[in-house]
């Protein structure tokens, strides 16, 4: 992910200006990346609730200007799925107020360099807003 947004962040490290957080912790424990656990509808509701709480807690603690969501969480947490033309919008989540940008997961098929250049430009636009 960092290499895709590097043009927006430049040589600055992730930290006060931007951070990376995995909202659904169990996914990285899975040895088969394409395999999703077979969960009931109730369990999935809890997964997304926990993810929203985690992102809200991170947002409230770090107060970033922008939260970027990868893939499905954008639609689940903010009601907006990634678009072909990525655009940030104002958002609020559990005490955090700022901007959100739902983008495709970096491993998603079909996204070209043009898409990732647009993502980087949009991140840069939001981060330099006064």
Separation between Cα atoms, residue 87 and residue 30, nearest integer Å: 31
* 26 — pLDDT class (breaks 50, 70, 90): low
Structure-block tokens of residue 45: 């509701």
Which 8-state DSSP code applies to residue 127?
Answer: H
Question: What strand order describes the sheet that includes 96-103?
Answer: 66-70, 96-103, 89-93
Enumerate the H helices of 1-81 as residue ranges.
2-9, 41-62, 72-78
Q: Look at the pTM and tell me if it is higher than 0.75.
A: no
Mean pLDDT (whole number) for 38-50: 80
Mean pLDDT (whole number) for 29-42: 66
- Number of separate helices (H) and strands (E) present in the chain: 4, 3
Q: Can you tell me whether residue 31 is helix, strand or coil?
A: coil
Domain extent listing, the chain: 2-7+38-127
Is 60 exceeded by the pLDDT of residue 103? yes
70 - beta bridge partners? 103
- Cβ(119)–Cβ(5) under 8 Å? yes
């Amino acid at each position: 992910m960092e290499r895709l947004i590097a043009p927006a962040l430049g040589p600055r490290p992730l930290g006060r200006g931007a951070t990376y957080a995995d909202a659904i912790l169990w996914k990285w424990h899975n040895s088969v990346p394409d395999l999703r656990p077979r969960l009931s509808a109730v369990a999935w509701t809890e997964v997304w609730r926990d993810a929203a709480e985690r992102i809200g807690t991170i947002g409230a603690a770090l107060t970033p200007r922008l939260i970027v969501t990868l893939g499905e969480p954008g639609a689940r947490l903010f009601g907006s799925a990634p678009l072909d033309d990525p655009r940030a919008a104002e958002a609020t989540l559990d005490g955090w107020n700022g901007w959100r940008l739902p983008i495709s997961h970096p491993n998603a098929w079909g996204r070209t360099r043009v898409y990732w250049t647009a993502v980087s430009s949009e991140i840069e636009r939001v981060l330099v807003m006064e």
